[in-house]
Structure 1
Amino acid sequence: MISLIKNRNGQQLAVYSFGDATQPAIIFSNSLGTDHGMWQAQVTVFAQDYFVICYDTRGHGKSAVIDNSTLTDLANDVVDILDHFNIEKAHFCGISMGGITGLQLGLIAPQHFLSITIANSAAKIGQETAWLSRADTVETEGLADIVSTTHMRWFSDKFDYIHDAIAQQSIQSLSVTPPKGYAAACRALAQADLREQISAIQVPCLALCGGLDPVTTVADGEFMQAHIPNCEIAVVDASHLSNIEAPQQFNQIFAEFIAKH
């Protein structure tokens, strides 16, 4: 079911819910340039036993494009979604941009979370200058160049992304992401650096890494495990969008982790 809700600033967020609302809740947060549809292989499995919420991060899918967004704004949107459903505590799982959003939630809204899974992400993703340059390029030239090469960043060579429906749908979602929305997210990521702060996170965390991920590496996961007091690490045999490339392995690791919390 889709709900078009307003966040605390009156901006539209597109939110999708699945399963029984009386069950424990999981909220999934998408990566840069994708939308809620990237979580299809997780929704199918987890909506049997959980109330599953996916949403389009601001500037993506059917959610509003909002300039001057920060990582704190991305995190506050998640809290606003939980408030909309009157959910006191949820399991959080975010990938890439969604993963660093989870770290920020662990710092500013820990009371809302039973666990936080940080998939294919890092306490700092990429370099500020590269993000700002990408934002400017996308705003002036659009996303076509990024779309044409994105499979090389998202998936490993051994994955047949051409014949995978969710992979194709995710590449399609990138092609229709508003350039201004994508650029605003790049600028939020440019400023996002939580390396000094994550040691304050008290929520149980899982750093779920892709062993073949060139973007956010296993070393990034090991850094989080070393600095967050209660953080496990797991590695799946996949590249950057590991939930799409290795869904069964991803789901099993995630299911075992949240079952403990």
Structure 2
Amino acid sequence: MTKKEETLETTSDVLLRWTQLNEIIDIAFTIKPIVLGSEFPTRIRKSSDEFFDVTFRKVCKYLHLDEHIEVINVIDEDLSFFEQLISEVVFSYVENNKLLNSWSDTDIKLAIEQHFVSKINPIQFPSYDLAKLNVYTFGEDKNPAIIMALPCGMPLVIAQKWIEHLSNDYFVITWETRGLFADINVSSFALDANVKDLIQIIDYFNPKNTHVFGMCSGAVVALKAIHQFPEKFSSASFWHGDYNWRDKDIWTKYQKDLKATLCIAKTSINEASVIRDIICAKKSRLSLPASLACTFMYPYLNGKLFYNYANLNESIQDFEINEIVKEIETPILIATSKDDSIAHPKGSTKLNEHLKNSVYYERVDGDHSSFFDAPLELIEVLKNFMNGASSKTDYDIVVI
């Protein structure tokens, strides 16, 4: 082997090791909402990779999770539902990656300082009714603003990959839903309360031009905000939106089942706790990848959270968008895929048909969960739209 080949191999090994370390930080960030929200310390099974276990413990220490985690020898059956979820995240990584060595405290500290986690600018924000919200910003505030309406009740980490891409060119603002994070004892879970949260945040930062990026149920919050406060927004994009058209034929089985579940769970914390226990006993994970399942299941962490989540999302599912869509003139990008079995794609198709100023994009391949991976094709679609494709005359439908 030549010296040049040795240098290339060494460089390749270094890049691999730093990639692995960043992926381990991602794991800690993914499990953080559940770990911090759990009543007792979270037990995680030791893996078969000692290098991973040592590195993982050090990462958790720097992210202030070490006091909430116990990495121990324990069989899977003795773990709780959420402990099993977290162990699945860890073990799915260990099975597919072999660490080359352990990491020094100095290197781990440096990696965390350079990681997405350290680029978060958190603000504990009082909304219009003094409910506390976790608000986050990314990127430089001199750039055009994008405010993200996350799927209601989901932790920030669900949008991490999108934020990492967009914060290079945009000032990204987002928040975690009322009643599920900073303040779980709020007085209102209504859709209007969430719209007011969005407007309050925009007024606080006061950007010149604001694009609202609505994901799943967050698209409904964004849609209603645009209808009520059109002057606040220059454009919008709705991704795999969960819309109520007064037509249950364009609801998926998941949407119908969730609606029935939420109607029961919203009546009391006791009812919510019973339903939550049944869901967790059945290990309901929507056949999602382990890391995404860990995020999606956060609202089921305890009865109080699930009660709040039920009231919040039942209000959103109840809102019929028929009456407002024809009055909206804001340029809007609508994106979905034929493979979405969570939010029916025909809901998005119908929205495009009713809006005055929309662009429609439909993927042939890619389901609801793959959207959160921030596929490059979707990033390009968004940037093209933001750069001027703002009416049906530009292109009506693009399918790849």
TM-score (norm 1): 0.85
Instruction: Indicate how the Cα distance of structure 1 residues 146 and 59 shifts in structure 2: closer, same or farther if over 3 A, else same.
Output: farther
Q: Please point out which of 163, 171, 185 is paired with 1:51.
A: 171
Partner AA of 1:118 in structure 2: F
Q: How far did 1:49 drift?
A: 1.0
1:81 and 1:121 map into 2 onto residues whose CA distance is: 22
2:321 is aligned with 1:194? yes
Partner AA of 1:187 in structure 2: E
2:325 is aligned with 1:205? no
Structure 1 match to 2:154: 34
Instruction: Indicate how the Cα distance of structure 1 residues 80 and 212 shifts in structure 2: closer, same or farther if over 3 A, else same.
Output: same
CA contact (8 A) 2:325 2:351 kept: yes
Q: What per-residue deviation string (whole Å, max 9, x for no partner) do you get for residues 8-53 of structure 1?
A: 1111111110110111110111113412211111111111111011
Q: How far did 1:145 drift?
A: 4.8
Q: How far did 1:228 drift?
A: 0.7
Q: How far did 1:227 drift?
A: 0.5
Q: How far did 1:211 drift?
A: 2.2
Structure 1 match to 2:361: 234
Structure 1 match to 2:285: 150
2:299 is aligned with 1:179? no
Report 1 or 2 for greater relative contact order, CA contacts < 8 Å, sequence distance ≥ 6: 1
Give the secondary structure class of the aligned counterpart of 1:251. helix
Give the secondary structure class of the aligned counterpart of 1:123. coil
Structure 1 range deviating more: 179-188 or 23-32: 179-188
Structure 1 match to 2:295: 170
2:249 is aligned with 1:133? no
Instruction: Indicate how the Cα distance of structure 1 residues 54 and 145 shifts in structure 2: closer, same or farther if over 3 A, else same.
Output: farther
CA contact (8 A) 2:334 2:361 kept: yes
Structure 1 match to 2:69: none
Partner AA of 1:120 in structure 2: H
2:317 and 2:344 map into 1 onto residues whose CA distance is: 18
User: Considering only CA atoms, is the larger Rg found in Structure 1 or Structure 2?
Assistant: 2
2:123 is aligned with 1:3? yes
2:348 and 2:315 map into 1 onto residues whose CA distance is: 21
Instruction: Indicate how the Cα distance of structure 1 residues 129 and 247 shifts in structure 2: closer, same or farther if over 3 A, else same.
Output: closer
Q: Please point out which of 321, 339, 350 is paired with 1:223.
A: 350
- How many residues are paired up? 251
Structure 1 range deviating more: 100-109 or 27-36: 27-36
Structure 1 match to 2:138: 18
2:129 and 2:306 map into 1 onto residues whose CA distance is: 22
Pairing 1:94-113 to 2, within 5 Å after superposition: 94-113=214-233
CA contact (8 A) 1:129 1:190 kept: yes
Structure 2 match to 1:252: 380
Structure 1 residue ranges without an equivalent (≥5): 156-160
Q: What per-residue deviation string (whole Å, max 9, x for no partner) do you get for residues 146-201 of structure 1?
A: 4632334xx5xxxxx23xx5x25523534447223212212312431112221111
**Bigger share in helix:** 2
1:188 and 1:78 map into 2 onto residues whose CA distance is: 16
2:137 and 2:309 map into 1 onto residues whose CA distance is: 24
1:201 and 1:207 map into 2 onto residues whose CA distance is: 14
CA contact (8 A) 2:189 2:308 kept: no
Instruction: Indicate how the Cα distance of structure 1 residues 238 and 246 shifts in structure 2: closer, same or farther if over 3 A, else same.
Output: farther
Instruction: Indicate how the Cα distance of structure 1 residues 26 and 146 shifts in structure 2: closer, same or farther if over 3 A, else same.
Output: farther
- The Cα RMSD (Å) is 2.5
CA contact (8 A) 1:5 1:15 kept: yes
TM-score (norm 2): 0.57
Q: How far did 1:70 drift?
A: 1.9
CA contact (8 A) 1:23 1:49 kept: yes
Q: How far did 1:89 drift?
A: 3.0
2:294 and 2:372 map into 1 onto residues whose CA distance is: 11
CA contact (8 A) 2:265 2:306 kept: no
Structure 2 match to 1:158: none
Q: What per-residue deviation string (whole Å, max 9, x for no partner) do you get for residues 44-63 of structure 1?
A: 11111110112101123335
Q: How far did 1:77 drift?
A: 0.7
